Structure formats: structure tokens, C-alpha cells
Amino acid sequence: MLSREDNEKLTRIGPGTPMGNLVRRYWIPALFSNQLPEPDGAPVRVKLLDEKLVAFRDTRGRVGLIDERCPHRTASLFFGRNEECGLRCTYHGWKFDVDGNCVDLPSEPQDKDFKRKIKITAYPCIERGGLVWTYMGPPELQPDFPDLEWTKVPENHRYVTRHLQDCNWVQALEGGFDTSHLTFLHRGPETYADGVQMSLPIRYEVIPMDFGFAAGTCREGKNGATDWTCSIMLVPFHKLISTKPFGAHVWVPIDDETTMNYSVEYWPDRPLSEQDLRDSKSHHFIHPEMMPGSDHAVLNKDNDYMVDRALQKSGESYTGIKGIGMQDCSIQESMGPIADRTIEHLGMSDTVIIKLRRLLLEALHDFEAGGEPPGLDPTAYRVRSARFTLPAGRTFEEAVDELVRIKQPVFAK
């Protein structure tokens, strides 16, 4: 349970909000690179952290991400002409380059000073892992791009999709780390197929690290040993999942009530096999079936995720909803656009949730007091989710650091 004030602080990410300022210190996925397939092609609308933007690829192939509104009289640059290294507003012809400079003002007398004074908000972009990432924080504080493993592997090692969720990003993030729901929400044919362990865990551990935290779920092993599933939280909104192939999510805040859920499967050291790809595209796991040409899933809150009550009653599926990703979505969205955390009753199995909130609120507190946000050293993200067995007497806290750090040279530039 949180106070109303903390719930607001935790969830709101618009310009000028405390959490908005913090999240703006990290690189954020904006869109797929292939949404801008060619130089001077059609611009694409992008919304991030409650800011309406337009992405375009200029004549030289560089990606620009600028305010959607033209600084002249606020017309949408989505309708702009993308030509000769800039996006030109179709209302009166003002033109802007990827750095936000005004490079042409044809409707005005040739007054160099006026042109120099006109700027449009432009965020730097970098293309990694098939995505365009942007940095929306103060320019002088821009960090290097993090060593996030799935963005560094060859393209055929990786499968990435995205879908919109009608709820706040913290709800989706919490859902991703809510380990105790696996046994309930996801009980059904999908989990058996994916080898998710269905017995109730005996212990949960959350160990704060330089990158965020490592979350361990413990089941009893043989001869006093313990079997651990360890997922990774990278601040502010990443998860690394210990499935095979490895999984990952990025829950990107689009606005306070909408999240873009990027879902990834990858192998560090080999291409995804045809069977891996068939499994990914079966929509049983984290990649939902999508409405053609949109970021909306076919199963959604308007059709109650096509819940099949007969299937639910049969006991074959706990929810009657197809696909792990959509089961998560149904529950996270059902809490409302921003969950009211003042009326909850948290128990032992919510340990991870409690610690996740604490980590984010403490990071926010330190940040507001002038401290450096966590996880900005690009090498801090050099970690991988894991499953392992520890002998009797060895604790998760002692072992985890060594077991999640990556030592292979996949990060060589």
C-alpha cells in the first residue's frame, strides 16, 4: 500500500514531474528502425513520456525526433515534407533539421537573426537492436548507450515485438516482477509448454545492485540445495527473463495511462532457430497476435481479451485467455489506468513489489536531493537473467552477483 502522494510520484512521467525527470536521464526506445525504412520517407508520430513527437529519417539517413508542433503556429509536422536534410512544415514552409535548427524560413524576409532564434525541441537518437532509442534529458548529462545484451547481438539472434497497454508503466513493470502470479494467472497449456515452474516458491529475494535489482524465486532442491530463478530489473523500466531463449521487456511510458511493452527473445551466442521463431510467433508466450498495421493486440480490453469461459471452467487454463502476454495484460489493465495503491493489502508474496517501489521511490528521493541516478554507467547493464542451484548453506545474496554478470566479449565495439 502506498500513500496517494507516493502513488502519484511513482507513476506520473509528464514533463516537469519528478519521475518524468528521472526517466528522462536514460535512453528510451522510441520506435522500430524499420518504421523509417528510407531516407526522406514518411515521418512517424511518436509519443513518449506524454510528449507528442515526430520521427523522420533525413536525406543522409540520420533519424530525427522532434516536437510534433511547428514553432511557428503549432501545425503538426506529421504532415511535413521530408526533404533535403530536414522536415518542412506544410503550412508556411518552415523547415527543421534533426538537431532542431531552423534551416529555412521562406515565409519571412531574409532575417538571419530571426531564423537563428527559432528552434524546435529535438532529442538525440541512436539505433541499437533494431530500435531507435532517444535521450530526452539535459544534453550535458547524456550518458553513453548501455551495454544491454539483446541490443548488441546480431539481428538473427533476436526477435522483438511491441504492443500498447492501456495502463500506467509502473503497473506493467510491477506485473513483470510479480513472481507469485505465475502459479495462478499463467496456469495452463502455455506454461507447461514453456517449462515455467508451477510449484509455489518457498522464498523470494530481492538484492539491490548497481543496475537495479536481482529478483530470486526459490524452490526446494535435492539434499538441502535450493533452486533459483533469477530475473533482473534494470532501472528504470527493463526486465531480463530467465527463459530459454532469454527474454526481455521494456515498459516504455507513452503517457501516464499508456505503456508500450517491447517484448524480446534472444540467444547471446547463436541465431534463433526456426522452431524458436515458430514458438515466438505462436502467441503463447510474450508476443501477442497484433491487429495488422497497429500497435494494438487482437485480444484487448474492448473484447475482454476474448476470454473463453468454457476453457476456464474446464481447468485447462486458469484464465481462459490465450497467451501469457495477454493474460498479464488483462490483469494489469483491469486495475484501471493508474492503480489505486492506497487500497491494497500486500503480503509476503509481494516482497518484490514492495522492494521495487522502494527502489524507485528511493532513487527518486536521492535524485531530487541532487544525487546521480542509478545504473547510468553503461557497463552496469552487462548482466543476464539466470537459473541456478545453490548447495545447502550458500545464500542467493552471496552468489548472485557472480552468476548474473556477463563475461563474454559480445560487447566489444
Q: How far is the CB of 357 from ligand FES (least distance, A)?
A: 43
Tell me whether residue 92 or residue 219 sits nearer to ligand FES (CB atom): 92
Site stretch for ligand FES (CB under 6 A), options 69-77, 221-229, 246-254, 390-398? 69-77
Shortest distance in whole angstroms from residue 397 CB to ligand FES: 57
CB of 181 vs Fe ion, minimal distance in Å: 6
Q: Report if residue 118 touches ligand FES, rule: CB under 6 A.
A: no
Return the one option of Fe ion, ligand FES, none that residue 328 interacts with (CB less than 5 to 8 A, by type).
Answer: Fe ion
Determine which residue in the list 1, 75, 103, 126 makes contact with ligand FES, applying CB under 6 A: 75
128 binds, among Fe ion, ligand FES, none (CB under 5 to 8 A by kind): none
| Cα 41 from Cα 83, distance rounded (Å) | 9
Is position 290 an interface residue for ligand FES (rule: CB under 6 A)? no
Q: How far is the CB of 132 from ligand FES (least distance, A)?
A: 24
What is the nearest approach in angstroms of ligand FES to the Cβ of residue 68?
11
Assess 73 for contact with ligand FES (CB under 6 A). Answer: yes
Of the residues 58, 227, 279, 328, which one makes contact with Fe ion according to CB under 5 A: 328
Q: Minimum CB separation from ligand FES for residue 305, in Å?
A: 42
Nearer to ligand FES, 80 or 325 (CB): 80
The residue within the footprint of ligand FES, chosen from 10, 48, 53, 70 (CB under 6 A), is 70
Q: Which 86-105 positions form the footprint of ligand FES (CB under 6 A)? A: 89, 91-94
Of residues 104 and 127, the one with the C-beta less far from ligand FES: 104
Q: Which does 72 bind (CB under 5 to 8 A by kind): ligand FES, Fe ion, none?
A: ligand FES
Q: Which residues bind ligand FES (CB under 6 A)?
A: 70, 72-73, 75, 89, 91-94
